[in-house]
Amino acid sequence: MGVVDLAPLSERPSVVVAMSGGVDSSVAAYLLAKQGYPLVGVSMQVWDYKQNSAENSRATCCSPADFCDARMVADALDIPFYVVDFEAMFQQEVIQRFVDTYKQGLTPNPCIDCNSRVKFRELRNRALTFGCGVVATGHYARIRKGAAGYHLLRGVDRNKDQSYFLYTCRQEELEQTLFPVGEYTKPQIREIAREAGLSTAQKPESQDICFVAGSVQDFVTRIGGGRGKGNFITKNGEKVGEHEGVHRFTVGQRRGLHLGGSAEPLYVVGLNAETNEVVVGSRSDLERDGFSVEEMHWVSPELLRVVSGKTFPFERDVIVQVRSRHDGNRARMTAHSPQCVTVTWTDGWAPVSPGQAAVMYDLNNEELLCGGRIAAHRT
């Protein structure tokens, strides 16, 4: 159900709106309340910040102080508000996978696991038990209903677009999800919050990963996913230095290597979890014609139809986005099975980090078609 095609007031379903205490979800709740949806505000207790954060928990979202902000907004909107415990689920489905992925020398994307496994699965289950069939969040993305099904589009504000994190959404989830802020730009959202007098209007952006305050690598080390000292090597196997563990690096990374003595800038071009080795090289060493993607999720109604027709292989020209901050490059996607595709760059390229998501959009770079996890490079 797109937020634009409104049902008559009396038929609007009860909606659980996930409220992190930030301005985006506050405005999401405000917009839906204004449109007459019966709302239930929910903050998800996913992580024990007191116990797990050495740093000031204010640096993250979803901390107890943020719940307080969410509660104040809910009270101002006169909607019921609850903090619901998701800690065990979050530990199992997000934190553990996050640490395990680093251990394998891959780069995890916990926000995607959180969306697919916690927000759009467990929160939806809980919402149903509260008598709410629909879940709303403050994501910058849009949903449109078409003749063949629901289409997931980038948010209007391309700088804030979060559709990349939502590629695991299924049709039945899109049908029962609302993304009210995706129809606006961030400055517009702040303006709406200010005009509505929401207490979170001026709240700063939350950065990076919600459950980590400070360095991700220190966090991984602290909760037991860290590796000891290892070597930097060149692609020919020559040792060029030492590092503090393979979990501290991501393919494509340039900063923080602390390696001197090279004429051109050095990049991480490969990670070997078994030997705890970080392979470094020049930017051109990162360049590949393409890559494989596994664990595919098919989102657009058109591709869902093709995949269910089992007409493999098939090809599509797409725009591929390989990191959260990447505008996308044009590529040819070849689907070999419902689970696996290969991507061949056709206009420019971007370094890819195995473990991260590759998400395919249409050539207008507007509609999300499908996505999956970038496979480890064949070496």
Partner 1 sequence: MIIDLDANSTYLPSEEIQEVMKLAWRRLGNPSSLHRGGQRARAEIERAREAVRYLVGAEKGDLVVFTSGATESNNMVLRAPWRSLAVSATEHPCVLGPARRVASAGAELRIIPVNEDGEVKTSHLEEALSRHTDFISIMAANNETGAINDIHELARVARSACPGAHIHTDAAQIVGKESISFAALGVDSMTISGHKFGALSGVGALIIREGIQLEPLLVGGVQESKLRGGTENVMGIISLGVAAQAVRETLSVRASTMSELRNCFEDSLLTTLAGVEINAKGAQRLPNTSNIFLAGSRGDDLVIALDREGILVSSGAACSSGKPEPSHVLMAMGQSEERVRSTIRVSFRADQSKEIVPRAVSAIVGAVSRMRSATSEN
> What are the residue numbers of the active site?
114, 210
Instruction: State the nearest-atom distance from the C-beta of 128 to partner 1, in Å.
Output: 6
130 vs 312 by CB, closer to partner 1: 130
| Among positions 12, 91, 130, 188, the unique one binding partner 1 when judged by CB under 8 A | 130
Q: Map the footprint of partner 1 across residues 65-84, applying CB under 8 A.
A: 67-68, 71, 80, 82-84
User: How many chain residues interact with partner 1 (CB under 8 A)?
Assistant: 21
Report the distance separating Cα 181 and Cα 376, nearest Å: 35
Say if residue 80 is preceded by a cis peptide, omega within 30 of 0.
Answer: no
- Is residue 126 involved in binding partner 1 (CB under 8 A)? yes
Contacts (CB under 8 A) with partner 1, residues 239-278: none
Strands, sheet with 239-243, edge to edge from the N-terminal-most edge strand:
239-243, 230-234, 277-281, 267-272
Contacts of residue 59, defined as CB under 8 A and 6 or more positions apart, other chains included, come to: 207, 213, 214
- Residues numbered 38 to 67 that lie near partner 1 (CB under 8 A) are 40, 43, 45, 48, 64, 67
List binders of partner 1 among 276-315 (CB under 8 A): none
List the one residue from 34, 54, 56, 85 that touches partner 1 (CB under 8 A): 85
Nearer to partner 1, 128 or 148 (CB): 128
For the segment 4-23, give every residue that binds partner 1 (CB under 8 A).
Answer: 14
Report the candidate in 165, 256, 260, 267 with the shortest Cα–Cα distance to residue 215.
256
Question: Which of 176/342 has CB closer to partner 1?
Answer: 176
Q: How would you list the strands of the sheet with 39-45, edge to edge?
A: 81-85, 39-45, 15-18, 134-136, 177-178
CA distances 34 to 196, 198, 205, Å, are 11, 13, 24
Interacting stretch for partner 1, rule CB under 8 A, among 94-102, 123-131, 214-222, 342-350?
A: 123-131
Residue nearer to partner 1 on the CB measure, 40 or 106: 40
Residue 171 interacting with partner 1 (CB under 8 A): no
Residues of this chain that bind partner 1 (CB under 8 A) = 14, 40, 43, 45, 48, 64, 67-68, 71, 80, 82-85, 87, 125-126, 128-131
